[in-house]
Amino acid sequence: MSSEITVAGQQELRRSVTPWGSYSWGYADVGADIFVALGLVIGVAGGATNIAFLFAGLVYVCVGLAYTELAAAYPVAGGGQYFVMRGLGDFLGFIAGWAVLLDFTIDITLFAWGCIGYLSHLPVLHILDAGTHPMVHFWVIFSVIAALAALNVIGVRESTAFNGFVSAIDVFSETLILVLGFLFTFHPEILIHSMQTGWPNTFQLMNGISLAIISFVGLESISHAAEETSRPAQIIPRTSISLILTILIFALAYSNLALGMQPWFPTPHDAAGHAQQFWHYLGTTQNQDKAVAVMASNIPYFGLLAAFYVPVFGATLLLISSNSGVFGSSRIAYSMSQFNLLPSIFKRVHRKFKTPVISIAVFCTLAAIELVFAALQGDFGYEFLGDLYAFGAAASYTLVFVALIALRMKDPLTPRKFMIPLNLKLRYRGEQIYFPLVGLIGFFGILAILVFVLLTHHIGRIAGPSWLIFGIAIYAIYRLRKKLPLFGSAPRDWSRDQVRILKNAGELELMDELVDKLKARDPNFTMKVS
């Protein structure tokens, strides 16, 4: 069958990512999140930090499964924006993409802030501490953002091999901290005591849950990697499930360990001179941006090494994540402009370096502006960035769940090598469809987190929606100028596009299966060759 169909050659990314490459690409992005999220969540959720991570973790499993199914079925770069545009149309596709862009720009600033925070844990670099030297802290982060922008313009970015190396070290290091921490410092009675004495009120718990989702942001990488993975329908599900489980366990383990550990060194008294529990000390503003390093340095004996090793390692990991924000934002903007969701200026590449220079400049400038706003918040600057990060993630993930359900109904013919479990068999417009119950549960879970963000984040509930309104204004002006429908979609032939996508991905069996189904539905279906 495949010989009957010849597909127009299209310029596409080389498919050279292996199963480990696909895993490490995702891990390099999501694995760093716990280094940022732990301190933030403990700061607000206190004794219920593990409950906050558990709730967000269960929602994350649903999100992860949704991304796995969609990335394996539609292996193209663009991620959430592409899935939503395909399932729900151009306007909502733009909203999802714009929310992801918010996340990527925040990602640049938040992780650069975290990188400097971890370095400041080293005694020789204490001058970088946000609390004691705020101006030095600000200018160092600003320089990091400027340097990343310059590196991305000249086209230097981490390779898959480098990502794989860092991910391997990271999995090993996080496992080592976890194993030694549980072996030498964990006491279940301290965990129960912390939960009983430090239980937050409902408002704080909702705030903690909404911040805990930060720990699981970065699943876009799975779909970005999909376009460069050979046989993505086979490889993506295998690597994604392993990635989802690993990240979930690390988040649950670190939160339980933080609440239930007996530190090696006596915990310093608080600012008022009162004794405080270790988890309380971790969640204070001076430790929020380096919580994992503080925790690791309190593991007996290993802490002597960890006091130097974990800050350097954490800073490296966070710098890579910050860089993935620069790279990711320019790639999403490029993809959106290709589908006429953003002006074509975002597609423009540098004459010499062949990189999307305008996108990089625009989004790094936005990241710098966010840094200024965060710095103006004083001690709460880190939390401010976390608020916006949570808003962007919750908004885009909510739309991805609706897109998953819509695509199951509108596009039942596309072969899905991996399907989220627990489906309801239904008939819709004469076709048999599988309604994803887990998708529905995930939708309500992430919607609850979005509501928590809007209810509890004083700045996030204003700045997040303002970002969306700003984007909609740009979209409206651009679409009206181009004489394209504002709320409707530009005409596209998704069936033929899908055949092309599967052909380019090397999934020839799936392509044949799809063509057979399309021919069974419409005997006149043919694909023109060029």
Residues that bind another protein (CB under 8 A): 50-51, 53-54, 175, 179, 182, 186, 188-189, 191-192, 195-196, 245-246, 248-249, 252-253, 255-256, 260
Query: Identity (one letter) of the amino acid at 326?
Result: V
State which residue, 18 or 489, has the beta carbon closest to another protein. Answer: 18
CB 110 within 8 A of CB 386: yes
Shortest CB 242 distance to another protein, Å: 8
Beta bridge partners of 431: 428
Residue with tokens 């004996």: 301
CB atoms within 10 A of CB 193: 15
State which residue, 58 or 125, has the beta carbon closest to another protein. Answer: 58
CB 31 within 8 A of CB 167: yes
Q: In 3-state terms, what secondary structure has residue 269? A: coil
Shortest CB 353 distance to another protein, Å: 34
Axis crossing angle, helix 80-88 with helix 302-338, rounded to the nearest 10: 40
State which residue, 77 or 248, has the beta carbon closest to another protein. Answer: 248
State which residue, 179 or 473, has the beta carbon closest to another protein. Answer: 179
Q: How far apart are CA 520 and CA 259, in angstroms?
A: 59
State which residue, 51 or 65, has the beta carbon closest to another protein. Answer: 51
Shortest CB 53 distance to another protein, Å: 8
Residue with tokens 């720009």: 105
Residue 261 DSSP label: B
The residues, any chain, with a CB within 8 Å of residue 271's CB and separated by 6 or more, are none
Shortest CB 235 distance to another protein, Å: 13
State which residue, 255 or 504, has the beta carbon closest to another protein. Answer: 255
Beta bridge partners of 261: 186
Q: How far apart are CA 1 and CA 527, in angstroms?
A: 12
Q: How far apart are CA 517 and CA 182, in angstroms?
A: 53
State which residue, 252 or 447, has the beta carbon closest to another protein. Answer: 252
CB 233 within 8 A of CB 508: no
Radius of gyration of the chain (CA): 23
Shortest CB 255 distance to another protein, Å: 8
State which residue, 124 or 189, has the beta carbon closest to another protein. Answer: 189
Task: Classify residue 517 by burial, with Cβ atoms within 10 Å: 0-12, 13-18, 19+.
Answer: middle
Shortest CB 340 distance to another protein, Å: 43
Q: How far is CA 63 from the centre of its chain?
A: 11
Shortest CB 249 distance to another protein, Å: 5
Query: Identity (one letter) of the amino acid at 181?
Result: G
State which residue, 246 or 321, has the beta carbon closest to another protein. Answer: 246
Shortest CB 259 distance to another protein, Å: 9
Q: In 3-state terms, what secondary structure has residue 424? A: strand
Shortest CB 368 distance to another protein, Å: 39
